[in-house]
Amino acid sequence: MKKSEIIESIGLKGNNAENLRSKANNITEKIYGNKIFIRGIIEFSNKCIRDCKYCGIRKSIKMNRYEMDYKTIMVLIKSAVKIGYKTIVLQSGEFPVHDDMITDIIKESKKELDTVFTLSLGERDEQIFKKWRNAGAERYLIRIETTNRQLFKNLHPDDDYDTRIESLKALKKLGFETGTGVMIGLPNQTDEDLANDIIFFQKNNFDMYGVGPFLPHYLTPLKNASITNVDTVINFVALMRILTINANIPATTSMGTLRKGLRSEILKSGANVIMPNHTPLEYREDYMLYDNKIGVQSEPDDTLKMALCDIEKAGKIASFEKGFRSRI
């Protein structure tokens, strides 16, 4: 597709939008069948050294900060595996203090558990990435958030676009299944920006794409920004599938927050992954990246049931297998 065609497709509505989404679903089912891969997320710390203007755990917000210890995280990983999860996503704010603990957790888990680790811990020196890879971590997610350099700079006062790109390159070089993603509907973002994001994905051939709508948080500088159009989010996911073909694409929690039932629609429009939150209830309110996040008042078992319900409503089948990217 030409960039002009991508821009036009982002704004589709009605039957034209349905045709786009149906095409994306057909591609997904040709590659992955009717299965939706399930991954369990553990949000083990909300400490962060960054001050990103959209984020509800940015360093300048005065809030209850927590960091689970080694024992707590290991208990949660084992309980997730017992339920059936074959992929564990360890997620936190960007906080390098716990790097060695993560290495030890991965090594210990690999000794006795048959599980895949996805890490989403922000930017690190390549040597730290290498330690985690050597310990056994298979996947890593760093969202670029936007490929518009000026927009990136405005949103990230203490980060650098080129550093983010270099981190993604280092992860690919080390053999991680590497993921990135963007926010859809950021203030001052255009449909051309979104088209450029998709072209960036296509050119760099990443293994997974975690995208979601921009949702404001009441304690951030963007608290009064407007929320994006639902059709734009669905069309963006469909276009990602059509143009990246075989990457893993999740229906994210933020999508379910934007509109009830939206995750089911996304699962019928190109997504093939869902990631229930396995974080204990006592920590969830302190990991509020945006307002009204779904599942904050739910126990891990209930969050899993919500995800399974979304999968069923989409007419899909839940799969707890490891779900690596198909290499067709």
Q: pLDDT 10s digit of each residue in the chain, 328 long?
A: 999 999 999 999 999 999 999 999 999 999 999 999 999 999 999 999 999 999 999 999 999 999 999 999 999 999 999 999 999 999 999 999 999 999 999 999 999 999 999 999 999 999 999 999 999 999 999 999 999 999 999 999 999 999 999 999 999 999 999 999 999 999 999 999 999 999 999 999 999 999 999 999 999 999 999 999 999 999 999 999 999 999 999 999 999 999 999 999 999 999 999 999 999 999 999 999 999 999 999 999 999 999 999 999 999 999 999 999 998 7
Alpha-carbon distance of 59 to 52, in angstroms, equals 8
Alpha-carbon distance of 44 to 93, in angstroms, equals 9
Angle at 301 between CA 295 and CA 307, to 5 degrees: 60
Alpha-carbon distance of 40 to 91, in angstroms, equals 10
The residue ranges of DSSP E strands in 162-232, in sequence order, are 177-180, 183-184, 208-209, 212-213
Alpha-carbon distance of 170 to 185, in angstroms, equals 28
* Structural domains of the chain ordered from first start: 3-319 (3.20.20.70)
Q: Which residues sit opposite 318 in a β-bridge?
A: 36
Tokens of 276: 């229930």
Helix pair 191-204, 230-244: axis angle to 10 deg: 30
Q: Which of 234, 244, 161 has the alpha carbon at shortest distance from 202?
A: 244
Please give the helix or strand (H or E) that residue 155 lies within, else none. helix 149-155
pTM above 0.95, yes or no: yes
Alpha-carbon distance of 260 to 302, in angstroms, equals 16
Taking phi first (over 0 means left), then psi (-120 to 50 degrees means alpha), and beta for anything else, what does residue 41 get? beta
Calculate the alpha carbon distances from 192 to 52, 59, 153, 195 in Å: 23, 31, 18, 5
Q: Dmax of the chain from CA atoms? A: 52
